[in-house]
Amino acid sequence: MKKKLLAFLLILVLAITAITATACTKNLERDFKQVTATISYADRVSQVDKLDLNATIYNFVYQYYNYYSQGYISQTQYQSVLDNIETSYDQANESLAETEAYTLKCIEELYQLVMKDGTQEEKDKALAASTKGKTEYDMAARIKEIESILPLKDLIAAVDAYNEEMQKSFDSFLEAYESEVAKSGTKHSTNNVKELIITKPWKLTYEKGESLNEVGLVVEAKYEDSDEVVTLDRDEYTVTGFSSEEVKEKVEITVSFGKATATFDVEIIDAKTSRPAMPKEEEEEAEKTEVAKLFEVDLDEQIEAAKKDDPTRYKALSEAKRRLEKQMSSNYRTYDYYYLSKLKDQVVTAYEEIVGKTAAGVSEAEILAEYEKRLNDQYLDLLFSISEYSDKAGETAVKTQIVHEDGEVFYVQHVLLKLSSELEEKYTAFENEKVANKSALWEYKKGLIDETTILVSNPEYDKDAACEEEECTCTACVNYKGETPGECTDEDCTCKKCPNKRYLKTISYGDDKTLVANEDGTFDILVLRAAMYEDLATVTEDSSAEDRTAALEIFKKWIYMCNEDDGIFSTLSSNGLGYKLSMTESSYVEAFTELSRLLAYGSEQEKADHPDYHIVGSGVGSYGYCYTEYGIHVIMLSGYALDPRAEKTDLGNGYYAIAADVVTDYPSYKPAESGETNTPAKGTILYDIVESLEKEKKDAKIGEFKKDFYRNGMKDDVKITYFEKVYEDLIEQYQD
């Protein structure tokens, strides 16, 4: 069966040559462009050809082949699929035809909308491009027809999708060609190599976990009976022995070419804090207003420009284009075929979006019913599930609607300004001398904490970024082509990978204030703490949700720059810690837990009784700091599962329901847009309910439209003629 399977797959993949090896190309093309179904709707025609059908069957069989090869179905089940291939062909042909009919339906509906509501210019354009009344299918005409009726944003989307797909295919051919050219160069012989001479790379000290950086490494070979020295290309020699998993003063790296070797040493040190770029809220892209040039048009312009200025680039682009078009030609396809497929997808999307918009809005009664339904579902989950509420909160990202009387959950974010390892060692040595009691030891440790200096990460630096400049001017960049690579000394360097960008040397905070780093690039811990306090807005009982959110955003920046410990209970976004008041023990030291709980539920008197926590503000966005054995924790209250000021409904059994309009997720909070109906504030349960109900209604409306067409329109308005004999040869070849 395996031979039969492979033969069949070959027929599907290379069907053009599998049918008949002796037929000429024109006959093959004519054969595979035979029509297997014709479709007519609203006085328009479309068709399915043998190539469309064959591609569909290939995908179908290959899917089951994967299931079989991976053990998801048995050999008998897979053989059944192959034995019923004739039925599969017939069903696939019918499915493709019905899809074409549905596309014609969407074309007709968009056409009628343009003729009803469009400008005179739009009507004239749609009328001129219409294929209504034409009895022969024409691909080019169908393209112009869809282009004439698609709303601008949908035409832009179709062109962009087509360009992206074609560019991806083209790039693969371009990469293959450039690789072939690179490999075709003359290689140096490995015979009779006497000696390797190496110029060490500039980077010889690595932090634990870093990768080898070969910038600056030059390898030359000397041969027996010759004074000539040749410089080797990177793909001619190997570099082995590098590992940064452990801190070591000396790691020997070996360079090999043939039987000759040479070595150099690197040092591995403890890793310093390095973070990826600080997450930024995605800005909404401005809506495009211009249709891009089609891929092939833009490519021709690139080739023409390169012909004048860059012969190497011209040859590469031209060859890649030739290979791409050769592949399309071998499959009897053109640019138009792939472009039309994107237009057809978009014409369906465009009209379904219009259909979805006709769905009725969400009523107050529907919102209340959905709220009650979710409430009941969660209540039953809590009553009959062994999961604790904290697990539920983690799974639902604070969208849970129920809290327990003894388990109100709140969330904090924090920055740990960590005691340095050198000072920690100093404390350990002092502790081992046993010359002080616990109280004195604690005061000694607090003094060491106050002496700590800290490197501050640059929010604009991204350790995972790659420099896009082919010949970067930064001497520390892997793309630097100059003669003296090394640590970059240019303070204004713009390279994404420049070490100057890794840590801040100045910090702006508060009202246009600036901190300047010490000579070693660090900041004093107490100075940082004071700056952080001044940078945060004071949050009072009367502060708005916007003010509280603004304070959280500022705090997130400090978390990125200075935090040395993400903590535990991180069930929300970055650094979110959830606590239940009913917890009898905490995985954090007492001061951390006590300060966190004071921020969440402490009365003004309780806060006043703990002046050493330096609490500022009240409710979400309030903050304070405490010393622990690890360093200084600055903690901010970031949210509640249930705001203590909010009205709550007693459900019995110790459970309480949260009101739908309570802000439960401050990090995502955005106020409701004025003048809009059913636009609740983002970050509330109400927002989530309205959003999901509107989507359900839109999807239901589109579903009704499609169902009506396939049940009634296909029967009353669509005419389809099938030509099964056209693909009998493929079935016969398989059966043979």
| Helices assigned H by DSSP within 567-716 | 590-601, 604-608, 685-708, 714-716
Q: Which of 129, 58, 135, 44 is nearest to 89 (CA)?
A: 58
3-state secondary structure 264-289: EEEEEECCCCCCCCCCCCCCCCCCCC
Residues 6+ apart with CB under 8 A from 735: 85
The Cβ-side half-sphere exposure at 163, using a 13 Å CA radius, reads: 15
pLDDT tens digit string along 450-468? 999 999 988 888 777 788 8
Token representation of residue 2:
């395996």
Question: Tell me, what's the pLDDT at 481?
Answer: 81
Rounded distance between C-alpha atoms, residue 111 and residue 368, angstroms: 40
CA 699 to chain centre: 25
Q: Taking the alpha carbons of 452, 457, 463, 466 in that order, is the dihedral positive or negative? A: negative
Residues 6+ apart with CB under 8 A from 648: 403, 642, 656, 657, 658, 659
Contact predicate 84/692, CB 8 Å: no
Instruction: Count how many residues are written for the chain.
Output: 736
Question: 732-735 long-range contacts, Cβ below 8 Å, gap at least 24?
Answer: 733/11, 733/18, 733/19, 734/8, 734/11, 734/82, 734/85, 735/85
Q: Which residues pair with 269 in a beta bridge?
A: 207
Question: Tell me, what's the pLDDT at 546?
Answer: 85
Question: Tell me, what's the pLDDT at 540?
Answer: 82
Q: Which of 331, 272, 406 is nearest to 29 (CA)?
A: 331
Burial class (CB in 10 A: 0-12, 13-18, 19+), 596: buried
Question: 376-380 long-range contacts, Cβ below 8 Å, gap at least 24?
Answer: 378/402, 379/651, 379/655
pLDDT tens digit string along 513-534? 999 999 988 999 999 999 999 9
Per the listing, tokens 């112009």 go with: 144
Rounded distance between C-alpha atoms, residue 548 and residue 489, angstroms: 41
> What single string gives the DSSP state of each residue in 136-196?
S--HHHHHHHHHHHS-HHHHHHHHHHHHHHHHHHHHHHHHHHHHHHHHTSPPPP-TTEEEE
Which residues in the chain come in under a pLDDT of 70?
A: 1-26, 185-186, 274, 276, 279-284, 381-409, 565-588, 641-648, 652-656, 664, 667, 674-678, 734-736
Contact predicate 200/266, CB 8 Å: no
Other Cβ atoms within 10 Å of 283 Cβ, number = 6
Q: What are the distances in angstroms from CA 178 to CA 40, 173, 187, 313?
A: 47, 9, 17, 10
Burial class (CB in 10 A: 0-12, 13-18, 19+), 453: middle
Contact predicate 660/643, CB 8 Å: no
- Please state whether beta strands 453-454 and 648-652 pair in parallel, antiparallel, or not at all (unpaired): unpaired
Rounded distance between C-alpha atoms, residue 458 and residue 521, angstroms: 12
Question: Tell me, what's the pLDDT at 151?
Answer: 96
The residue extents of the domains of the chain are 1-149+718-736, 391-463+502-668
3-state secondary structure 42-63: CCEEEEEEHHHHHHHHHHHHHH
Identify each DSSP E strand in 534-576 by its residue range. none
Whether the pTM exceeds 0.85: the reply is: no
The Cβ-side half-sphere exposure at 574, using a 13 Å CA radius, reads: 17
Please measure the distance between the N-terminal and C-terminal CA atoms of the chain and give it in whole angstroms.
13
Residue 578: φ, ψ to 5°: -100, 140
Residue 503 has what DSSP assignment?
A: B
The Cβ-side half-sphere exposure at 447, using a 13 Å CA radius, reads: 9
Question: Tell me, what's the pLDDT at 644?
Answer: 59
SS3 41: strand
Amino acid residing at 331? N
